[in-house]
């Protein structure tokens, strides 16, 4: 299948790579020329504008957006719009708010698939988990592409109508915040508590058969191995927060109690106050690099 990929950063380049490895033809575009060049080296056909990308795709366009959520998605869709009709399919693989995805689907002539993507850049080799919303025919049409970008056929599914893919991903991120907070608190007690422990060894032991083993716990093990058992100069500043905020806002609207996710979100905001030194926040800061390659805030010497 021929696909256009727009946005070739940490995630989009992996999408393009995996599509190419899966035998698909990729036409690639990014505002950043160096990113387009990297995609070209990986076997994609470089495009120098969105018009160029659309012309190279011909009839029945399949286009995967992997740009930052918000204005970049709207700007890209505005430029794509004159080229799109009801035979075309647009996938938004970023962390867009689900309500914005519903509005965008209504505003375009193309079939719109909102695709929550989990796994982060660290899952380049294994593939992603994809949570997809939108018209069934468009999902079915793109199954070979989803097979290639996900871990395989079991790594993606249609969640329901448009909006549901990003809704499920939003809740996923709320759970991610809570799990990071729980691991952070446990390791903080171990770090500050009564025994002198090697936390990499604790994480490795837990990862081998313990009830609480998980990929995030493997990333804790990696963080202690690479930074040291005291996390070295990793600061207690945790960035991000938008997807967790949306999860809590939705819970308030639906009158569903999510105390643990709310606490994890407020811990994250609390990390930005002048008070310093929480081990749990330092581990959360380092874990966001582990899965998302988000920059690690480090303490000044």
Ligand X SMILES: NC(=O)C1=CN([C@@H]2O[C@H](COP(=O)(O)OP(=O)(O)OC[C@H]3O[C@@H](n4cnc5c(N)ncnc54)[C@H](O)[C@@H]3O)[C@@H](O)[C@H]2O)C=CC1
Reduced to 3 states (helix: H, G, I; strand: E, B; else coil), residue 129 is strand
CA trace torsion 291, 289, 11, 148 (10° rounding): -20
Quick check: 101 binds ligand X (CB under 6 A)? no
Quick check: 165 binds ligand X (CB under 6 A)? no
Catalytic residue among 61, 176, 227, 267: 176
Which one of residues 242, 249, 252, 269 is an interface residue with ligand 5RP (CB under 6 A)?
A: 242
Buried b (16+ CB within 10 A) or exposed e, 12-29: bbbbbbbbbebebebbbb
Whether 238 has a binding-site annotation, put simply, is no
Query: Residue count at the site for ligand 5RP (CB under 6 A)?
Result: 13
Whether 127 has a binding-site annotation, put simply, is no
- Residue 169 annotated in active site: yes
Quick check: 240 binds ligand X (CB under 6 A)? no
Residue 42's DSSP bridge partners are: none
| From ligand 5RP, ligand X, none, interface partner of 134 (C-beta below 5 to 8 A by class) | none
Binding mask 60-89 for ligand X (x = CB under 6 A): ------xxxx--x--xx-------------
Quick check: 170 binds ligand X (CB under 6 A)? no
Query: Which burial class, exposed, middle or buried, applies to 207 when counting CB atoms under 10 A from its CB (0-12, 13-18, 19+)?
Result: middle
Quick check: 94 binds ligand 5RP (CB under 6 A)? no
Nearest-CA neighbor of 293 among 69, 122, 67?
Answer: 122
Reduced to 3 states (helix: H, G, I; strand: E, B; else coil), residue 196 is coil
Residue nearest to ligand X (CB): 9
Q: How far is the CB of 181 from ligand X (least distance, A)?
A: 18
């Amino acid at each position: 299948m021929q696909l256009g990929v727009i946005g070739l950063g940490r995630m989009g380049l992996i999408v393009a790579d995996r599509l190419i490895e899966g035998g698909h033809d990729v036409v690639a575009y990014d505002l950043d020329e160096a990113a387009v060049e990297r995609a070209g080296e990986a076997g994609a056909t470089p495009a120098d504008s969105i018009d160029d990308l659309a012309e190279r795709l011909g009839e029945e366009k399949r286009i995967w957006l992997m740009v930052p959520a918000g204005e970049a998605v709207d700007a890209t869709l505005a430029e794509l719009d004159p080229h799109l009709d009801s035979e075309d399919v647009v996938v938004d693989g970023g962390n867009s708010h689900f309500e914005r995805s519903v509005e965008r689907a209504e505003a375009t002539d193309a079939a719109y698939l909102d695709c929550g993507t989990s796994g982060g850049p660290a899952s380049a080799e294994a593939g992603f988990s994809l949570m997809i919303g939108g018209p069934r025919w468009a999902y079915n049409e793109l199954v070979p592409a989803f097979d290639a970008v996900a871990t395989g056929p079991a790594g993606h599914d249609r969640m329901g109508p448009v909006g549901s893919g990003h809704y499920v991903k939003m809740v996923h991120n709320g759970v991610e915040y809570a799990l990071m907070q729980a691991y952070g608190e446990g390791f903080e007690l171990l770090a500050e508590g009564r025994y002198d422990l090697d936390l990499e060894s604790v994480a490795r032991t837990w990862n081998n058969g313990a009830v609480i083993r998980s990929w995030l716990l493997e990333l804790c093990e990696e963080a202690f191995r690479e930074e040291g058992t005291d996390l070295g100069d990793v600061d207690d500043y945790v960035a991000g927060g938008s997807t967790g905020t949306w999860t809590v806002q939705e819970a308030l609207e639906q009158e569903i109690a999510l105390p643990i996710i709310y606490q994890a979100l407020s811990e994250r905001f609390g990390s930005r106050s002048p008070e310093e030194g929480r081990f749990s926040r330092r581990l959360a800061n380092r874990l966001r690099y582990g899965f998302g390659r988000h920059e690690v805030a480090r303490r000044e010497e």
